[in-house]
Each structure stands twice: as structure tokens, then as C-alpha cells.
């Protein structure tokens, strides 16, 4: 790839080459022909964006098996001035690789990214019941380390890893769920919203005002009373005291949809801290269906009725 001349030519992703994150970045049309900068963790990828070293960063945000990726959710909550501008889905499966000459029955320690390890634990427990786990920063890093470090005997890696490293495949399709999918988001500093498509998501992070009984219900009512569906609701500890949590929420719809905008207004009145992460097209392109009493015309008609009372 060409050398970057400015941040607009550079995209950061969890490396090294061959990761599922790189596969997600390959789906971004604007990134084609640009420089892809591999980094070691989510924090570094987002710091590249904030500092201006990259125009955007691709990070994993949710897995269909393990749920939300806590490191990404916490980073988005703590690093200001970031926006999600797109989402991408990557089917996930794994192979077990080792140094040439290694036999499956010789494997005692497996190097793996924690998320990948969790998605393969049933196969590992059944096939290698006495194995130990050595955590890695990425699936590719786990495989690459086998060539420089003998601590682990094998590694969990993406299919095709042998195109990049001289390793033997000991087992294929070791993931516990053949339908596993990881959702990635492209994060940038831009504040310009993508235009509504009719198949959109809006992401926010919300804190409750206090721990009084019923506060969570009050938060959820901001969406329920306006017909806004949530496709993700995940809690993460704020970290300043026990029992204090923030909520990562994905909503069906766009900020320019009347029901979503009205829900966010209610949410802002309710919560002491609301972080708007962006509105962007859904990766699955499924159209959002809304009952008539919650579509834009219903909100516009209600507003016109209210204004008519003064005249």
C-alpha cells in the first residue's frame, strides 16, 4: 500500500495483517488503496483517530456469541469526540495451528485472543481437556508468536493464517458455533451524519442519574413510549464506585427520524451524561419497520396540533 501523506490516507485496525478486523476494513470502499495501519489494541487504534494520525479506525464492538466487546465499549465511553460512521459484519471461525511437526496430542498450552478462546472452549475442553490458555493481543499475534516463543504449543487463528506464516493446521472449524458473527464499527472524528437510509442504527452511552429504584425503567421508557426499538443494551461499570454502571445502547433508526430525536431529547432531560456515538447504516441492510403512530408524520401532526392551539 502507498505511504501516507496525511491522516486521510490512513486507517487503523487491530493487527497484524490477517485478522478479522482487517477483513472488516476490507469492506470499506473509501479505505481501498489507502494505508492500513496495524495496531496492538483498541485504545491505540482510537488514539490514532483522536490525535489525527488516522482518518478512522476499525474496531470490534459485538459478537453474536460473547456479546459486547467490553474493551471497545469502555474506550468509546472514555475517549471524547468520536463518532461511529459505519458497521460491518464478519463471519467468524477458527483453526488450531502449531509449529511444523507438532502433533495434536502434544498440545499442552494454547495461545489465543480471549474472545476467540471463549468461542472455542467447548472444542478445546473436549479435545484437549488438560490444556492451558495463554492470552494474546490478537488472533494473528497468537499464531505469529509460535515462531518466536515456545511457551505455547499451538494457537487459535483465523482460516488462511498459513498464507502469512509457516505453520501447520492441526484442526479446522473449531469454533463452537458455525454461525458466529462479529460486528465491527468504523470510528472517526467527523461530526457529519450519514444520510438516513431507512435501515439505520443510532448508538449512545447513557448513565443513570442515581441508583433510586425504577431508574432503569425510566430510561427504557424514553424509548418504549416513542416506539424506538433497542438492538443492543449492555451495562458496563463506570469505575468510580461499586454499583455504578453506564449503558451502551443501539437504537433502530436515525437521529433524523422524529421518534429517535424525540427519544434522545427525553433521554438528555433524564440522564446526567449522554454520549452520542452516531447514526449510521446497518450492515444487514434490513429495513426498520415502524407502526403508524410512531412514524415521522405522526410526530409532525402532533406538533402542528399543539401549535394550532395557540391560534
What local confidence, expressed as pLDDT, does residue 2 receive? Answer: 40
CA–CA separation, 112 and 126 (whole Å)? 17
- pTM of the model as a whole: 0.84
Distances (CA, A) of 157 to 90, 104, 109, 152, 273: 15, 15, 14, 13, 39
Tell me how far apart the terminal alpha carbons of the chain are, to the nearest angstrom: 64
Q: Which of 164, 167, 168, 132 has its CA nearest to residue 151?
A: 132
Cβ neighbors of 204 (< 8 A, separation 6 or more) are: 249, 251, 264, 267, 274, 275, 276, 277
Cβ neighbors of 212 (< 8 A, separation 6 or more) are: none
Residue 247 has what DSSP assignment? E
Distances (CA, A) of 247 to 157, 216, 232, 273: 31, 10, 10, 11
What local confidence, expressed as pLDDT, does residue 175 receive? Answer: 93
CA–CA separation, 197 and 21 (whole Å)? 25
What local confidence, expressed as pLDDT, does residue 36 receive? Answer: 96
Task: For the beta carbon of residue 195, count every other beta carbon within 10 angstroms.
Answer: 10
Cβ neighbors of 236 (< 8 A, separation 6 or more) are: 68, 70, 73, 74, 77, 245, 246, 247, 248
What local confidence, expressed as pLDDT, does residue 300 receive? Answer: 94
What local confidence, expressed as pLDDT, does residue 5 receive? Answer: 46
Q: Which parts of the chain have pLDDT scores under 70?
A: 1-7
Q: What is the pLDDT of residues 73-109, one digit of tens each?
A: 888 988 888 999 999 999 999 999 999 999 999 999 9
CA–CA separation, 162 and 251 (whole Å)? 40
Question: How distant is the alpha carbon of residue 153 from its chain centre?
Answer: 30
Strand blocks (E) in the chain = 10-14, 35-39, 56-63, 67-68, 83-91, 95-98, 109-112, 132-135, 154-157, 168-172, 181-188, 200-207, 230-237, 245-252, 273-281
What local confidence, expressed as pLDDT, does residue 67 receive? Answer: 79
What local confidence, expressed as pLDDT, does residue 50 receive? Answer: 93
**What nine digits make up the cell of 105?**
496430542
* DSSP line for 150-214: -S-SEEEE-TTGGGTS--EEEEE---S-TT-EEEEEEEES--PPPPP-SSEEEEEEEE-S---TT
Collapsing DSSP to helix, strand or coil, 276 comes out as: strand
Amino acid at each position: 500500500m502507498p505511504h501516507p501523506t496525511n491522516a486521510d490516507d490512513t486507517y487503523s485496525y487491530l493487527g497484524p495483517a490477517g485478522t478479522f478486523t482487517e477483513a472488516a476494513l476490507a469492506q470499506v470502499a473509501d479505505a481501498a488503496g489507502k494505508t492500513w495501519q496495524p495496531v496492538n489494541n483498541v485504545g491505540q487504534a482510537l488514539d490514532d483517530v483522536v490525535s489525527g494520525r488516522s482518518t478512522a479506525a476499525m474496531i470490534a464492538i459485538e459478537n453474536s456469541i460473547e456479546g459486547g466487546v467490553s474493551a471497545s465499549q469502555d474506550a468509546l465511553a472514555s475517549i471524547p469526540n468520536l463518532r461511529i460512521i459505519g458497521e460491518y459484519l464478519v463471519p467468524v471461525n477458527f483453526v488450531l495451528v502449531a509449529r511444523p511437526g507438532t502433533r495434536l496430542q502434544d498440545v499442552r498450552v494454547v495461545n489465543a485472543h480471549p474472545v476467540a478462546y471463549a468461542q472455542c472452549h467447548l472444542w478445546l475442553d473436549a479435545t484437549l481437556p488438560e490444556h492451558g490458555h495463554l492470552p494474546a493481543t490478537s488472533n494473528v499475534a497468537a499464531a505469529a508468536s509460535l515462531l518466536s516463543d515456545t511457551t505455547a504449543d499451538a494457537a487459535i487463528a483465523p482460516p488462511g493464517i498459513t498464507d502469512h506464516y509457516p505453520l501447520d493446521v492441526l484442526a479446522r472449524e473449531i469454533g463452537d458455533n458455525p454461525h458466529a458473527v462479529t460486528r465491527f464499527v468504523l470510528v472517526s472524528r467527523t461530526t457529519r451524519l450519514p444520510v438516513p437510509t431507512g435501515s439505520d442504527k443510532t448508538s449512545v452511552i447513557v448513565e443513570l442519574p442515581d441508583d433510586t429504584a425504577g431508574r432503569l425503567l425510566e430510561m427504557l421508557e424514553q424509548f418504549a413510549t416513542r416506539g424506538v426499538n433497542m438492538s443492543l443494551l449492555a451495562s458496563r461499570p463506570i469505575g468510580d464506585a461499586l454499583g455504578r454502571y453506564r449503558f451502551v445502547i443501539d437504537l433502530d433508526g436515525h437521529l433524523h427520524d422524529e421518534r429517535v430525536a424525540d427519544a434522545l431529547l427525553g433521554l438528555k432531560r433524564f440522564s446526567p451524561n449522554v454520549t452520542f456515538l452516531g447514526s449510521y447504516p446497518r450492515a444487514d441492510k434490513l429495513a426498520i419497520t415502524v407502526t403508524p403512530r410512531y412514524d415521522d408524520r405522526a410526530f409532525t401532526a402532533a406538533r402542528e396540533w399543539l401549535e394550532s392551539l395557540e391560534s
